Amino acid sequence: MKTKLMILIIFISITLICGCTQSDITKIDQLSSQINSHLQKGDDYYNQSAKDINNDDINASLDKCDSAFTEYNSARTLTSQAQSYAQSAQDDVYIQYLQLVLSEIDAKLNATSELRTAGQLFQTGDNETANSNLRSANSMMVNAQDFQKQKEQLVKENPNKFK
């Protein structure tokens, strides 16, 4: 009788642990579409801001930078939340993936900051420094693309983890 009770307790414990892990992964999956949406919107605002600077519409560019910041920060908040779920689930693949997402977002936030600063410098007539900031923004976006490639590679290596 005690053996059956012990087996039942172990079975229930395993079920609860697996259930908690699955719910954490489910939460990550639910957040991922929101994260991707914010990243896409941030990218759209960033790209439009760059076009506005090229067209000498600095005020519009600065407004788009602000919108890009908002979207990227929203993505960062959600990604941090997803990462806490991955850590709770002790899923190393998701942890690594989400760290790459955070690195990508940080690079995009830094690029947006440089783009915004460039716009402000163009407004004051400091074109040389503004162009330096634009080069820096471009470099940071290249870094963000590198993180995207690393994410894609991780997905290819773990197709059963990603839908």
Q: Is the pLDDT of residue 110 over 60?
A: yes
The conformation of residue 160, written as its DSSP 8-state character, comes to T
Supply the DSSP string of 50-69, one letter for each residue: HHHHHTT-HHHHHHHHHHHH
d(CA 21, CA 27): 10
Is residue 70 a part of any domain in this protein?
A: yes
In sign, the C-alpha dihedral spanning 31, 34, 40, 41 is: negative
Average pLDDT over residues 103-130: 98
Q: What is the dihedral of CA 100, 105, 111, 113, to 10 degrees?
A: -140
Ramachandran class of 91: left when φ > 0, alpha when ψ lies in -120 to 50, beta otherwise: beta
Average pLDDT over residues 91-97: 95
For residue 25, the model assigns a pLDDT of 86
Domain residue limits at 43: 2-157
Average pLDDT over residues 144-148: 97
CATH of the domain at 61: 1.20.120
pLDDT digits (tens, 9 = 90+) for 19-28: 444 588 889 9
Q: Are 144 and 104 in contact (CB under 8 A)?
A: yes
Is residue 49 a part of any domain in this protein?
A: yes
Is residue 162 a part of any domain in this protein?
A: no
Q: Is the pLDDT of residue 58 over 60?
A: yes
Distance set, CA 156 to CA 12, 64, 122, 145, 148 (Å): 35, 34, 43, 17, 12
Is residue 110 a part of any domain in this protein?
A: yes
Q: What percent of the chain has pLDDT over 90?
A: 81
For residue 27, the model assigns a pLDDT of 92
**CB contact set of 31 (below 8 Å; sequence gap of 6+):** 78, 79, 81, 82, 85
Average pLDDT over residues 38-63: 98
Domain count of the fold of the chain: 1
Is residue 61 a part of any domain in this protein?
A: yes
Q: What is the CB neighbour count within 10 angstroms for residue 36?
A: 13
Is residue 153 a part of any domain in this protein?
A: yes
Residue 156 CB-density burial (10 A; 0-12 exposed, 13-18 middle, 19+ buried): exposed
For residue 1, the model assigns a pLDDT of 53
Across the chain, what does the average pLDDT equal? 90
Is residue 136 a part of any domain in this protein?
A: yes
Q: What percent of the chain has pLDDT over 70?
A: 86
Is residue 163 a part of any domain in this protein?
A: no
d(CA 37, CA 110): 19
CA distance between the termini of the chain: 44
